[in-house]
Amino acid sequence: MTDRTAAEQSGRSVLRVRHLSAHIGSQQVVEDVSLEVPERGVTALLGRNGVGKTSTIKAVLGLIGRAGEVELDGERIETLPTHRIVRRGVGYVPEDREVFGSLTVEQNLRLAERDAHPRRDLVADLFPDIMARSGQAAGTLSGGQQQMVALARALLNDNRLLLVDEPTKGLSPKLVEEVADALERAAQVVPILLVEQNLAVARRLATDAVVMAGGRVVHTGDARALLDDEERVVNLLGVGAEPAPSHGRPPSTHQSHQEVPS
Ligand SMILES: Nc1ncnc2c1ncn2[C@@H]1O[C@H](COP(=O)(O)OP(=O)(O)OP(=O)(O)O)[C@@H](O)[C@H]1O
């Protein structure tokens, strides 16, 4: 590894992962992963299906067996149980959303409240449609609306970091845009590590990108520089580049990219 990221150089990372490995049962699913999440903006965690993105997030949270170092705001957390990591300010929006379908939207939100003064105003501001349905059973909402509830639950608490796993998966193009809008606004409040297969969404939201292959990190750097490079997108992500969206995006905290040999 030659280049160091701007976050590494300045020390302004909310999350630092070093030499993380993880296993599910006897299968090693993450091998020697090192990455950083700057304290602002969206960092996209990218890679083909099955390369270990979800497992990396779960390992950070202690949901699967792991070894290596995980630092949140400069403090080591890799030996803490999940509930203590969450209490330190790591919000998790899992891939399958996990809203309680038989409970109302309001009940889902109340169950998630951890702080004495939950950020109700922020959630009402970000998700007016959801709040207008506060008495409705969450299971009767559309997939996009359920995703909003899942995001709202994580945003209620004063988290230091959100781990958001494939929030647009399975949604219609209109709902993808709505969820991306919500994430864009959420990222103004809290840094996000985002697993996202929709590269147009990743390109729109992310300042930084980390690419995994075979359980390892194979690239880190500026998200837009990566996603606008068709050859690299094909090589690293195995898909064709999509047209650039019209939305603006904040500048990357990275000044250069690095390829990590696999
Ligand atoms: N519960 C499980 N039991 C056994 N193996 C698993 C389990 N969950 C995931 N794996 C394996 O771990 C590896 C990494 O999976 P993971 O879900 O972390 O990848 P991913 O990059 O998030 O993929 P996707 O984009 O498809 O969600 C894969 O080989 C997968 O088959």
pLDDT digits (tens, 9 = 90+) for 230-247: 999 998 888 754 444 444
Tokens representing residue 31 in the block: 């091998």
In 3-state terms, what secondary structure has residue 237? helix
pLDDT of residue 240: 56
This prediction's pTM: 0.87
- How far, in Å, is the centroid of ligand 1 from the Cα of 209? 20
How large is the greatest C-alpha to C-alpha distance in the chain, in angstroms?
54
Q: Is the CB of 221 under 6 A from ligand 1?
A: no
pLDDT of residue 96: 78
How far, in Å, CA of 206 to CA of 175, rounded? 19
Beta carbons of 94 and 57 less than 8 angstroms apart: no
* Res. 102 pLDDT band, cuts 50 70 90: very high
Q: Is the CB of 24 under 6 A from ligand 1?
A: yes
- How far, in Å, is the centroid of ligand 1 from the Cα of 173? 26
pLDDT of residue 65: 92
CATH annotation of 13-98+160-237: 3.40.50.300
* Res. 10 pLDDT band, cuts 50 70 90: low
Q: Which range, of 21-25, 145-149, 192-196, 243-247, averages the lowest pLDDT?
A: 243-247
Q: Which range, of 10-14, 59-63, 197-201, 217-221, averages the lowest pLDDT?
A: 10-14
pLDDT of residue 116: 82
* Res. 12 pLDDT band, cuts 50 70 90: confident
The residue whose CB lies within 8 Å of the most ligand 1 atoms, and thus the one to mutate among 28, 49, 54, is 54
pLDDT of 197-211, one tens digit each?
Answer: 999 999 999 999 999
153 or 1: which leads in pLDDT: 153
pLDDT of residue 114: 84
- How far, in Å, is the centroid of ligand 1 from the Cα of 215? 10
- How far, in Å, is the centroid of ligand 1 from the Cα of 243? 29
Angle CA(134)–CA(138)–CA(139) in degrees, nearest 5? 155
70 or 170: which leads in pLDDT: 70
Q: Helices in the chain by DSSP H: which ranges?
A: 6-10, 53-60, 82-87, 105-112, 120-126, 128-131, 143-156, 173-186, 199-205, 223-227, 230-237
Q: Break the chain into its structural domains and give their ranges.
A: 13-98+160-237
